[in-house]
């Protein structure tokens, strides 16, 4: 039987682009799986914001991130890519970070070349470490994996700090160090995306804002367009988290407006019903297990 890492690698190297929504908890993971997706990316921003209540500016540590990843892996069959930020230190820290995420059930692990504390790639004030230092981090990440098919994804934020050519040079060096997939964050145009995708020697990964373009720098393109540019995988890291926040804010406003009304206010248009929610969250499987293991006199 193929490992999850092997299946992820095969999808990444397939002719068709791999579309992976961003997930960050049990709700989002089960929704993505129910929609028919095979793979998903765990959004570091989504985990930080939903679990800790703080923006993606280096507040979340390795153990918080791994704990969230393990919980997601335990409730879904999705092939998951972890967002391991900078690896939480030097190359030695990266080694143990990758080990931890692999043990948590990840099929792929992404590390980036920002300085620590990092920040969301679309925020101002980013900086990157020397490329030679990141090369050693990539080597450590590759050495750490027990399953040789575990996908090591190397990300650079250099395009937003220096220029696109520097990002390309860095990604080529990271590929030579052993990275299986490559990703340049916050590119400013479709031309830049295609330029990087065509220039790098490993499968190229791109992320899309999908509704967050007012705060994003990368233009919104379809998966079909990206495939034509040579992109192997596209992620939508903030789609579900932003949709969830919008839904909760809308529901909370409706609740507050009617909280002191003379008669109860029902808003089924703003909620899923109990049966639908229970089915999504595996109640049928739990009921079957109770029946199977029920004690008898």
* Cis bond before residue 170 (omega within 30° of 0): no
pLDDT confidence of residue 121: 67
Q: Per residue, what are the HEC states of 178-236? A: CCCEEEECCCCCHHHHHHHHHHCCCCEEEECCCCCCCCCCCCCCCHHHHHHCCCCEEEE
Per residue in 29-40, is it b (16+ CB within 10 Å) or e — as a string?
bbbbbeeebebb
DSSP-assigned beta bridge partners for residue 155: 112, 183
pLDDT confidence of residue 214: 44
Tokens for 47, please give them. Answer: 């985990």
pLDDT confidence of residue 263: 87
Residue 80 contacts residue 69 (beta carbons within 8 Å): yes
Confidence (pTM): 0.93
Can you spell out the DSSP letters for 258-282? HTT-SS----GGGS--HHHHHHHTT
Taking only the tens of pLDDT, the chain with its 297 residues reads 899 999 999 999 999 999 999 999 999 999 999 999 999 999 999 999 999 999 988 899 999 999 999 999 999 999 999 999 999 999 999 999 999 999 999 999 999 999 988 877 677 778 999 999 999 999 999 999 999 999 999 999 999 899 999 999 999 999 999 999 999 998 999 999 999 999 999 999 999 986 554 455 788 899 999 999 999 999 999 999 999 999 999 999 999 988 888 888 888 999 999 999 999 999 999 999 999 999 886
The DSSP symbol for 145 reads: -
Tokens for 250, please give them. Answer: 């809308």
Residue 258 contacts residue 37 (beta carbons within 8 Å): no
Q: How far is CA 234 from the centre of its chain?
A: 10
Tokens for 162, please give them. Answer: 């220096």
CA-closest candidate to residue 122, choices 185, 184, 61, 171: 185
- Per CATH, the number for 4-243 is 3.20.20.60
DSSP-assigned beta bridge partners for residue 41: 22, 81
Residue ranges per structural domain of the chain: 4-243
Tokens for 223, please give them. Answer: 């998966």
Q: Is 293 exposed, middle or buried (0-12, 13-18, 19+ CB in 10 A)?
A: exposed
DSSP-based three-state secondary structure for 154: strand
How wide is the angle at C-alpha 61 spanned by C-alphas 60 and 64, nearest 5°? Answer: 85
């Amino acid at each position: 039987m193929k490992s999850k890492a092997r299946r992820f690698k095969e999808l990444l190297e397939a002719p068709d682009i791999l579309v992976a929504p961003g997930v960050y908890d049990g709700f989002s993971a089960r929704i993505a799986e129910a929609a028919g997706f095979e793979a998903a990316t765990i959004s570091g921003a989504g985990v930080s914001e939903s679990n800790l209540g703080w923006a993606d500016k280096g507040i979340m540590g390795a153990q918080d991130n791994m704990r969230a990843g393990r919980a997601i892996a335990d409730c879904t069959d999705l092939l998951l890519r972890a967002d391991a930020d900078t690896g939480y230190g030097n190359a030695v820290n990266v080694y143990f970070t990758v080990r931890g995420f692999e043990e948590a059930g990840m099929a792929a692990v992404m590390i980036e070349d920002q300085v620590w504390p990092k920040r969301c790639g679309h925020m101002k004030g980013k900086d990157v470490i020397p490329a030679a230092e990141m090369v050693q981090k990539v080597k450590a990440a590759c050495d750490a994996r027990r399953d040789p098919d575990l996908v090591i994804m190397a990300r650079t934020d250099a395009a937003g700090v220096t220029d696109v050519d520097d990002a390309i040079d860095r990604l080529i060096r990271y590929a030579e160090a052993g990275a299986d997939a490559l990703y340049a964050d916050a590119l400013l145009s479709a031309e830049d995306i295609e330029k990087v995708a065509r220039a790098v020697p490993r499968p190229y990964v791109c992320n899309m804002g999908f509704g967050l373009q007012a705060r994003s720098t990368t233009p919104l393109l379809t998966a079909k367009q990206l495939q034509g540019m040579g992109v192997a995988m596209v992620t939508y890291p903030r789609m579900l988290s932003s949709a969830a926040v919008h839904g909760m804010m809308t529901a909370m406003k409706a609740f507050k407006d009617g909280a002191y009304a003379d008669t109860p206010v029902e808003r089924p248009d703003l909620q899923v019903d109990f049966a639908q929610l229970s089915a999504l969250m595996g109640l049928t499987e739990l009921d079957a297990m109770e029946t199977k293991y029920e004690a008898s006199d």
